[in-house]
Amino acid sequence: EGVRKAHATCSTCGFFLPMAGALRAIFGVCANEWAADDGSVVSLDHGCGAHSETDLPDQGPEWPINPSRVDDHLMVPLSTNGLDLREGRSIAELAAEQADDVDSETDDAPAEDAAGAPGRGADAESSARDADA
C-alpha cells in the first residue's frame, strides 16, 4: 500500500544508503528517521512515502489554538508625539504648571520669625556690641 502512495522510489531518496558489494545494485538501508522503514533494508524500487523530497500536506498545529486573552478593544493607542501622555498639553505648559506648583509650595511653607531665629534679632545685636567693647 505504501508503494502505491509514494511518488518516488527509495533509489532517489537522500536517506537511502546503498549496501556494499553485489547487493548494492538492488538493496540499501533507509536512514530516514521519519519513515516507517528507518534502519531497515529496502529495495531500490521500494517507496515508503517518506521520501526526502516529499511535500507533506500541512497537518496543522499539534495543540489547539485558543483565542487570545488580550482584548484589543480595551487598549488605547498613544500618539507618537506624546500629547496623549500629557493630556493634550505642550511641554512648555507642563513646565510652567510645575513651576507654579513649586512656587505655591514655597509660599505655603511657614515663615520663620526673624527675631526668633537663633543668631538674629535683639539678642544678636547686643552680643555684637558686647564683642566690640
For the chain, what percentages of helix, strand and coil (3-state, to nearest 5) are there? 35, 10, 60
Give the tens place of pLDDT for each residue, 20-56: 999 889 999 988 887 888 888 988 888 777 766 655 5
What distance in Å separates the CA atoms of residue 131 and residue 55, rounded to the nearest whole number? 106
Q: Which residues contact 42 (CB under 8 A, 6 or more apart)?
A: 10, 16, 27, 28, 29, 30, 48
CB atoms inside a 10 Å sphere around CB 18: 14
Q: Full-prediction pTM beyond 0.85?
A: no
